Amino acid sequence: MDEFSRIQYWNAKRQEQALKVSLGVKVDIGDDAAVVALPYEVHRDQSQYESLYTVDTMVEDIHFSSETTDFEHIGYKALAANLSDIAAMGGIPLHALIAISIPDHYSADHVMRIYNGIYDCANRYKVAIVGGDTTSSPHSLVLTITVIGMVEQGKAILRSGASVGDIVFVTGVPGQSAAGLHLLQHANTSQYPVALVDSLIRAHQQPEPHLQAGRLLSTSNACHALNDISDGLISELSEIAKASHVDIVIDENQIPLSDSMSQYAGKSGQSMFDWVLYGGEDYILVGTASREQFASIEASFREQQLQLYAVGEVIAGNGEVWMDSWNDGLQLQKRNQIMNRGYNHFT
């Protein structure tokens, strides 16, 4: 197959024409560039929109290994990670471009399976794939996805908006992806209950971008800062604290845990708090919101059956993250500074 036939093979007839039309796509894969109507032409409502642009690269043996990740999941997760960045701005994703560099030992069908994952995610979250680029690669697969989205003018939720007195929250249970990876790498999965294995492995392989939660937070007008957890809870909190020139205190007892994760940590003798605080790739959201309006945000999350947990508060400071631990009598035992040791490619 020549290059163009391969691109066709991976991309043709994957998405409903109606979806593409509704997203303003006029010319998609096949020409030199895609032609797309600007968001405010497509969504003719009262709001003025701004565009969001984000790109993420996944490199084999750095971000995933083909030993613990199926081809489908490589594609699914690469797009999900990008959509999560749009969620973390409070936005709506619209279009995506897929750049893929393929080593010799990958067949066209291996790549087809990667695309199956990409389109699975794209169709689920109503994102149109409008183009990309294809090259060979000397050793590892490299998959770079660009997503374009939109948000109402002035409503993007930045990292820098946290203010003293805010409640700090998460929109799910952190650490489960790291626990799932540990399970895939170290454990004989048949030793554990099927439900436990499924939930942890799914958290690692097919994370759900919290787009609906991101929209609730941006439309609430009460969310002041937001990140998605790609590099670990503490790392994301530390970014918010630094960008906002505040300190953040989380309460050990308020951090949500899951039964699967605690059971697996117990049985495998691992430290669950390492996963919870430093594990990455959960793609849940972490942010801060006005204390006065937190109850109404909680109510809107409950109404849509979405998770939301208060885990701490914003205090005056200069970019540090602290954790309160409690003794049995529930008197404040100690407040420890938590050092950031999320994954960094260049240290």
Site residues, Mg ion (CB under 5 A): 133
Q: Does 311 bind ligand ADP (CB under 6 A)?
A: no
Q: Does 328 bind ligand ADP (CB under 6 A)?
A: no
x/- map, 238-277, ligand ADP, by CB under 6 A: ----------------------------------------
* Residue 273 in tokens: 């708090």
Q: How far is the CB of 133 from Mg ion (least distance, A)?
A: 4
Cβ proximity to ligand ADP: between 96 and 184 the closer is 96
Cβ proximity to Mg ion: between 135 and 153 the closer is 135
x/- map, 109-148, ligand ADP, by CB under 6 A: ----------------------xxxx--------------
Cβ proximity to ligand ADP: between 61 and 133 the closer is 133
What is the rounded distance in angstroms from the CA atom of residue 96 to the CA atom of residue 143? 13
* 11 touches, from Mg ion, ligand ADP, none (C-beta below 5 to 8 Å by class): ligand ADP
From residue 254, alpha-carbon distances to 144, 170, 173 in Å are 36, 10, 11
Which of 251, 109, 103, 242 shows the shortest CA–CA distance to 168?
Answer: 251
Cβ proximity to ligand ADP: between 2 and 328 the closer is 2
Please identify the residue of the shown chain whose CB is closest to the bound ligand ADP.
131
The alpha-helical segments, DSSP class H, found in the chain are 3-11, 17-22, 39-42, 71-87, 108-124, 176-186, 194-205, 211-220, 233-244, 259-268, 272-278, 294-303
Q: In what order do the strands lie in the sheet with 128-137?
A: 49-59, 142-152, 92-103, 128-137
Asked if residues 250 and 311 have their Cβ atoms less than 8 Å apart, the reply is yes
Provide φ and ψ at 303, rounded to 5°. Answer: -60, -35
Which listed residue (1, 13, 17, 31) binds ligand ADP by CB under 6 A? Answer: 31
From residue 280, alpha-carbon distances to 136, 231, 274 in Å are 29, 4, 10
Q: How far is the CB of 22 from ligand ADP (least distance, A)?
A: 20
Q: Does 98 bind ligand ADP (CB under 6 A)?
A: yes
Question: Looking up tokens 């759900």, which residue turns up?
Answer: 208
Residues at the interface with ligand ADP (CB under 6 A): 7, 11, 29-32, 98, 100, 131-134
